[in-house]
Each structure stands twice: as structure tokens, then as C-alpha cells.
Amino acid sequence: MSAESVKARVEQVYREDSRRILATLIRLLGDFDLAEEALHEAFFVAVARWQTDGVPANPRTWLVSTGRFKAIDVLRRRARFNASRPLLIAQLEELEQADWSDEDVEDDRLRLIFTCCHPALAADAQVPLTLREVCDLTTEEIARAFLSAPATIAQRIVRAKAKIRDAKIPYQVPSLAELPERLDSVLRVIYLVFNEGYSASIGAELTREDLTREAIRLGRLLVELLPEAEVLGLLGLMLLHESRRPARTSANGELILLDEQDRALWDATMIAEGCALVERALTLRRFGPYCLQAAIAAVHAEAPTAAQTDWPQIVGLYDLLLRALPSPVIELNRAVALAMRDGPLAGLTVVEAILARGELLDYHLAHSARAQFCRQLGRVDEARSAYQRALELTRQAPERRFIERRLEELQ
């Protein structure tokens, strides 16, 4: 293969499999930083070696093996200056002879999520650590998503890694007895991963399919482990949202709102599976926020047109959701449904009350919703001001272009 084609193949493998490979290296090496160094060394070697030897039949296995050997070399060099290292090296050398399969690699990402969400870690570190290690988001991207300083996020991640290492937190999926109490944080993280893929916080593209696909895969694994109502609800919710992907952007990448989407482009297979999961979850009668959000998504999915959407039912479901999970973001979403049922003034009243409380002031969608309601009511100056504030807060290119078009329309 030519140097260019090998480089392209290596880049493809990195995009598709680097986080699975990293998860396995973390399990084998027991050290986040050493595993990350080994990962990059393995891909560096691949660029040169695959040109002469050809691309291996299983690139992922080859890269894990190469990364492990590189890590052992690093530890051998360190052992010359540290008498405590030889025992660790001996343990790693035993791993050289151990057999492991692709099934182990697939499960490693779920193991890594449970490790990153271990209750021994600070709650405000669990999500950033997972997004960094499992999803390969940069510290800056995570900081923007959480409206925090990059240095703050970096510090949380460093402390969490040190805690995992020093406390010897096990790298495993909990036992069935432990699983229920560990589940909430893992569901929260998987949904955050999905959301970052469904509506990227920054960048030229509206979505990141690699993240939504991975979140759905992890959701399926959790359903196999523990088919509780909220697990079923989360998987159903993700599938129902993902079913709309083909219709969410135009051919040239421009954002299309839900009520303007071509519903013929929605994935009927995903909708059927998602709705079946929602029905199954609701029959268990132990449902919570994920089931309720999935039920709302199912009402949207089953409506033949935007005009035929059952808005009273959606408002009712949001009322239940707000009682189960009070949140200004959920209140904002309810305001949009309320406006569809009762008119834009009803929605605007709720949004302005949220902002008056000092909540969602830095959330661009709150200002976009206010702008839309003002626009519908003919309050042009207020709409323009709200769109301009939303534009200041938006870092996602298609959303920025959408807001800019709205501002041009107002002129």
C-alpha cells in the first residue's frame, strides 16, 4: 500500500476504534496516562509498519498488542530508577502470553464507564472523565459543554485518574447485586455522550454519529445486563431521537427544525424499536425521567405531521417530568410545547420567568426560544436582541448560521 493509503487507513482506525483500544489498554496496564501514551505509540508504529507488512487482518488486536509492548518497554526503562517496578513488569510480561478476544475489547468500554462513574470519585469529575477517556472529547470541548474553565475541568480529570490509581478502583462491570445502585450515574453519562453526538456543543457539524452510535451500543449492553424500566427508557429515547438524524439537516448541512422536517426521512425501524421499548418500560410501572422523555419522543415520532402532534399529551408528560426531575432546561422544553398548545405568549411568559430567576442566562437555546416567541408575536426589536444574545453564546456552526438567517429575516 502507498504511504497515503496507509495513513488514511490508520486515521480511519483511529476514528473508529481508538477509544475501544484505549479502554483495553487501561484495563491491561492499570494506568490512564501510560495507556494513552501506549495508544499513541502504537498508532505511530502502525504508520510505518503497515506500509511494509500490510494492514493486519484485525487492526484493533494488533494495536492493543503493540501498545502493550510499548508500555512494557517504558516500564523497563523506568525500573532502572525505581526498585518497585520489576514486580509490575513481571505481571505485564505474563499478560504477553495471555489470550484475549475482540469480545473482551467490546466489553472494555462498558467497564471503563463504570470505572469512571465509580461512587468513590467526586460527582463533578465522573462525567468529564468519561467524556475525555471514553469519547475522546478535548478538555476545551468538555469545558464549553459545562460552561466551565478548561483548567477546572482538567484538574477534575487529573484528580479522578489519581483516585482510581491510588484507591485501586476495580476495572469491571459491577455484580448484579451492586448494579442497581451504580446505574444512575452510568445512565446519566451515557445520555450525555449521546447528547454531545446528537447536538455537538462545538464544531462545523451539527452531529457526531460516532458518539450517538456508541451511546446506543452501550445502552443495548446495559439492557442485556439489567432490563430495568429506566434502562429500557434511555435506549428507547436515544433510538427515537436518532431516528430523526437524516431529516435534521439539509443536503448542504443546514439545520432543519422539528416541525419543518421531512418525516418520510425518519428511520421507521428505529422508531418501531424505540416505541416498543417505551411500551415495555411503562408496563413495569417503575419508570422515571428517561421513560417520560422517551414517551414524549414517541408522541412526536407517531405524529404523521407536525400539525397533528398531540401537544396536550406532551405538555402533560412534561408536567410529570418536571415533578420527577425539576430542571430549568425541562421547564424550557415544556414552554415550547405549551406555546404549541396555547400560543406563543404562553411560552414566552414561562421563558421570561426562567430568565428573570437568573437561570439559563448563558444557555443559547433559552434566548433562541424567547426570540422565536417574540418573533411570532411581532415584537421585532425584542426578537432581534434575543437572537443576538443566542448568537453570542452559540459555538456550533449550523446553529450559528440558522440564527443568522433568522436575524436577516427580521430585517
Q: Per the structure block, which three cell numbers stand in for 205?
A: 457539524
Structure-model confidence comparison of residues 167 and 303, the more confident one: 303
pLDDT for 363: 93
Q: Is the pLDDT of residue 114 over 90?
A: no
Classify 310-411 by CATH class.
Answer: mainly alpha
Q: Is the pLDDT of residue 407 over 60?
A: yes
The C-alpha atoms of residue 236 and residue 284 are separated, in whole angstroms, by: 14
pLDDT for 148: 78
Q: Where are the domains of the chain?
A: 1-100, 103-226, 240-306, 310-411
Q: Is the pLDDT of residue 100 over 60?
A: no
Tell me which of 73-77, 198-202, 401-405 is least confident. 198-202
Structure-model confidence comparison of residues 111 and 290, the more confident one: 290
H-helix segments, 199-262: 209-225, 229-242, 245-248
Are residues 397 and 204 in contact, defined by beta-carbon separation less than 8 angstroms?
yes
Percentage of residues in the chain having pLDDT higher than 90: 47
pLDDT for 85: 59
pLDDT for 373: 97
Mean pLDDT, the chain, rounded, equals: 87
Q: Is the pLDDT of residue 104 over 60?
A: no
Residue keyed to cell 443559547? 364
Phi, psi for 396 (deg, rounded to 5): -105, 120
Number of CB atoms found within 10 A of residue 180's CB: 11
Number of CB atoms found within 10 A of residue 101's CB: 10
**Overall average pLDDT of the 277-300 stretch:** 93
The C-alpha atoms of residue 266 and residue 245 are separated, in whole angstroms, by: 7
**Overall average pLDDT of the 368-397 stretch:** 95
pLDDT for 23: 86
Q: Is the pLDDT of residue 82 over 80?
A: no
Partners of 203 in the beta sheet? 396
Structure-model confidence comparison of residues 174 and 183, the more confident one: 183
Phi, psi for 360 (deg, rounded to 5): 60, 25
pLDDT for 117: 86
The C-alpha atoms of residue 301 and residue 237 are separated, in whole angstroms, by: 11
